[in-house]
Amino acid sequence: MHHDLVVISDLHLGRGRNPESGRYYNLEAFFYDEDFARFCRYLCDDAASRGVPFKLILNGDVFDFLRIEPEDPGPNASLRERRYGASTTPEMAARVAGQILDGHPRWVDGVATVLQAGHGVVFLPGNHDNEMQWSTVQEVVRGRIAARLRERAAEETIAGLEFRPWFYYEPGRVWIEHGCQYDPENAFRYPLRQGWIELADAEKSHEADLPLGNFIQRYLYNGFGHITFIVPSTRANLRYTKWLLVNQPRFLARVIARHVPFAWQVVRRLAEAIGRREHLQAIHRRELAALAESSGLGERLYRIDAMKEAGAELEQAVRAIGWQLVKFVAAFVSISLIAVSLLFLAQLGIQHMDGGFGLKTFLFLLLNFVLMIAGFVAVGYALLKTPASVAPRPLRDSAQRIVDLVDVPLVTFGHTHDEVVWRLRRPGGERAWYFNTGTWIAVFTHDVFLPRERVQLTFLRVRGTEAELLYWSAARGEPQPVVILEEDAPYVPTDAGPQPA
């Protein structure tokens, strides 16, 4: 192999620091620009000492066009636009991309350092920055980084910057993509959308094909502000909601009350999507055909595209939103029934006791209080009990199917914010591996005991066909192995092929 690969994902850069106030914007999640810049310098120094070039693969959700403060929509904006911001257009996405880069100058320095040293940088889209496919956004990103290189008299090295619409693939070596397409809550129905920039109403098309998870982030979860982390799944959202219910109940109630229209946004989105899908599908198919030919994958790429989990939007909406509502209603009804039953039983028991009025009153109040507390605890535990942590198996199964189709020893996703190392099997029986690169932002760990820091700057290093999942230790100034423990229950994909390492 002529170069190494370094893969990172899920940085979720927002608008960074506000130059007017000197403070970070309220929805910013990435505070590690200096760490990233030092990491890039280390990569260049290490490559120079080994005499081997590398490519830095930025594998999706590097920018965050979802968790970001909406722009001022103007005096004539609708109520929806004033509360949630205007729908995304190619021009708006380009403007936001510029604001993100302006708010993270040291991050731009890091990317420029890699390019100036003669190495490559490749952007792949994720579900939070699928807009990276649009040429308007790419031009802004390229322009900001080129300007930094121009200051260093190295503008010609901008040629090492690439944007790819879906995946990075080296035959016989590696398959890299963000992985959201294999998550039912975050899969796009028509993910290839470079041609959308030609549409006069691109913002409506963009809104019509947002996954449910993206809608939850934009129309509900952004309202919680900085108190929450970015989460890729309903399971993680539920964990945060439970924490808020226990620790910030008034704040939780206030946000939910303000965002009741969120349910209407889901219904409106489902209705609008029906009339636009034929046109969006035609664009996706056109770009898929071109990509299948240019990549040399042919029919295999069509089969990988067919693996996406999009299509069960209404089912996901009912499960993710309706089921939680049913649980809360059921809990309220249960508590009411328990309260009434306890009152009846307490009165019946005390009436059959011998003793004065004062003793009976005391016993009635004491018994009623104890049993009432017990009922609340039982119902609250059933409602708030955290389910067992389940590994993101759809992504693992998808990694194995990709190995079966393209026969590579390494498959790498991001998206889940969970670091994963898992053994797979190539068609010839040789060993293959699936890696998930986790995230560079804070991970909610209030109810999960893991031997890791809340912020762990993880990346995958590929040398030849060997890969290792590491994290950048800012204190040591060098990478360290990621700590991942064996799981209690061995996991076997649906094809009964690979076994855990």
Q: Are 247 and 112 in contact, with CB atoms under 8 Å apart? A: no
Q: How far is CA 234 from the centre of its chain?
A: 11
Three-class SS of 329-346: HHHHHHHHHHHHHHHHHH
Taking CA atoms, 423 is separated from 182, 184, 444, in Å, by 18, 23, 26
Name the band, by pLDDT with cuts 50, 70 and 90, for residue 379: low
User: Up-side HSE of residue 446: CA atoms within 13 Å toward CB?
Assistant: 15
Q: How confident is the model at residue 458 (pLDDT cuts 50, 70, 90)?
A: very high
Q: Do 272 and 207 form a contact (C-beta atoms < 8 A)? A: yes
Quick one: pLDDT at residue 236?
A: 58
Dist CA 384 CA 246 (whole Å): 9
Q: Which amino acid is at 147?
A: A
Backbone torsions φ then ψ of 278, nearest 5 degrees: -60, -45
The answer on pLDDT for 341 being more than 60 is yes
pTM to 2 decimal places: 0.81
CB 200 within 8 Å of CB 206: no
- pLDDT score of 397: 93
What is the percent of the chain with per-residue pLDDT over 70, rounded to a whole number?
Answer: 70
Query: Across all residues in the chain, what is the average pLDDT?
Result: 81
Output the CA–CA distances (angstroms, integers) from residue 156 to 117, 150, 161, 196, 199, in the order listed: 11, 8, 11, 30, 33
Cα–Cα distance, 371 to 366 (Å, whole number): 9
Cα→Cα distances 166→122, 132, 133, 283, 487, Å: 11, 10, 9, 15, 31
How far apart CA 237 and CA 215 sit, in angstroms, is 13
* pLDDT score, position 390: 42
User: What pLDDT digit, counting tens, does each position of 116-147 carry?
Assistant: 999 999 999 999 999 999 999 999 999 999 99
pLDDT, tens digit (0-9, with 9 covering 90-100), for 406-415: 999 999 999 9
Query: What's residue 448's pLDDT?
Result: 54
Residue whose structure tokens are 């509502």: 325
